[in-house]
Structure 1
Amino acid sequence: METVYMACLIGGILYALISVVFGDWLSQAMDGVLDFLSLDGPSIFQPMTLVGGITIFGGAGLLLERYSGLGAWVVALVAVLIAIVGAIAVFFLYVKPMENSENSIAFTIGSLAGSQGEVLVPIPQNGYGEVLVKVGAGNTNQIAASYDQKPIAGGAQVVVIDVREGVLYVSELNLSI
């Protein structure tokens, strides 16, 4: 059994080293052939979690076999239990926080509907102007037209009513209520 434990430990360490050093390069070279490993199904079965569990199984089994007086089957059972606990720890302490940290600062123009902004270039009755809309921590300038077919002066506060063909259709925000 010592050979099995050693193979699991060394295999897991090699996987970690290869994925850290060559991960992006291998993914591009193989054109995403192994992408199915991280898609579909519960996220606890991510490769990092599974390989982490196998590595922990090998290390725990090796240590228990060498330094405890337990029988081979008991050592294997305890190593499996330690591996399960370790894999769960890897999932909740590494994989899950990394999934949640993958946020983008990008936005779609369609997501601007309902946003407030300020007119930078006056919007004529049947023409286009420009508005400044706050997006996350920044701002974006977008082409705008009057939703109500009424002219809107520069500096006016507006709300985006609709987005069609890359143009924000805005209406002047009446704050005197």
Structure 2
Amino acid sequence: MLEFYWGCLITGIIFTLLTVIFDDFLGNMMEGILDALTFDLPGFFNTTVLMSALTTLGGAGILFTLYTSLSHVVIFLLSLCSAFLLSTFFYFLYVKPMERAESSTGFSVKDFIGMVGEVTIPIPKEGYGEIVLSIAGASSNQIAASFDEEEIPSGSKALVIEVREGTLLVSPYEQI
């Protein structure tokens, strides 16, 4: 049984080292293997959590085997409980908060519909100008055309009505 625990510990350590070295490739491969399952697993069945449980199972099994005179069944159950408890703490104290911390700065031009921006290059009746909009904590300059076919001067506010072929169609925005 000691060989089994050493195998678990060594597998966990090797996976950790490979993850540090190859980062996304190995993690995505393991996530892909778990995605192949036909049913949805809760977030707890994350590759990082599973490998921490495997490593803990191996380490606890080795320690209990070497330093106690308990039976193999009791040692296995204690190791399993240790792995479950430590990986649960790891999940709730590290993995889950990090999942919520992820954010994306990516956006689509469709996200601009309904937003108000400032015209930086005047928009003629027929033709193109430029508008600056704030999205995802940053400013984005976009090509704009008049939706109502009326001139919109530089420095004025404009409301994005529609997006057509990558161009924002805007109307003058007047606050009431």
* TM-score range relative to shorter protein: 0.7 to 0.9
Are residues 64 and 35 of structure 1, via their aligned partners in 2, closer, same or farther at CA, if it must alter by over 3 Å?
Answer: closer
Per the alignment, residue 48 of structure 2 pairs with 48
The 5-angstrom pairing of residues 126-145 of structure 1 reads 126-145=126-145
Whether the aligned pair in 1 keeps the contact of 2:31 and 2:46 (CA below 8 Å) is no
**Structure 1: 5+ residue stretches without partners:** none
Per the alignment, residue 69 of structure 1 pairs with 69
**Structure 2: 5+ residue stretches without partners:** none
The 5-angstrom pairing of residues 82-93 of structure 1 reads 82-93=82-93
The 5-angstrom pairing of residues 30-41 of structure 1 reads 34-37=30-33, 39=35, 41=41
Q: For residues 16 and 56 of structure 2, what CA distance do their matches in structure 1 show?
A: 12
Amino acid corresponding to residue 144 of structure 1 in structure 2: A
Q: For residues 135 and 148 of structure 1, what CA distance do their matches in structure 2 show?
A: 24
Per the alignment, residue 109 of structure 1 pairs with 109
Whether the aligned pair in 2 keeps the contact of 1:113 and 1:163 (CA below 8 Å) is yes
Q: For residues 47 and 127 of structure 1, what CA distance do their matches in structure 2 show?
A: 53
Percent identity reads: 39
Q: For residues 76 and 35 of structure 1, what CA distance do their matches in structure 2 show?
A: 27
Per the alignment, residue 17 of structure 2 pairs with 17
3-state SS of 1:169 partner: strand
Per the alignment, residue 170 of structure 1 pairs with 170
Amino acid corresponding to residue 54 of structure 2 in structure 1: I
3-state SS of 1:50 partner: helix
> What is the aligned length?
171
Whether the aligned pair in 2 keeps the contact of 1:131 and 1:141 (CA below 8 Å) is yes
Runs of 4+ in 1 over 3 A off after TM superposition: 32-35, 38-41
Q: Once the 2 structures are TM-superposed, how far is the Cα of residue 38 of structure 1 from its aligned partner?
A: 5.1
The 5-angstrom pairing of residues 156-167 of structure 1 reads 156-167=156-167
Q: Once the 2 structures are TM-superposed, how far is the Cα of residue 35 of structure 1 from its aligned partner?
A: 4.8
| More displaced 10-residue stretch of structure 1: 101-110 or 142-151 | 101-110
TM-score scaled by structure 1? 0.86
Q: For residues 34 and 87 of structure 1, what CA distance do their matches in structure 2 show?
A: 17
3-state SS of 1:118 partner: strand
Are residues 55 and 105 of structure 1, via their aligned partners in 2, closer, same or farther at CA, if it must alter by over 3 Å?
Answer: same
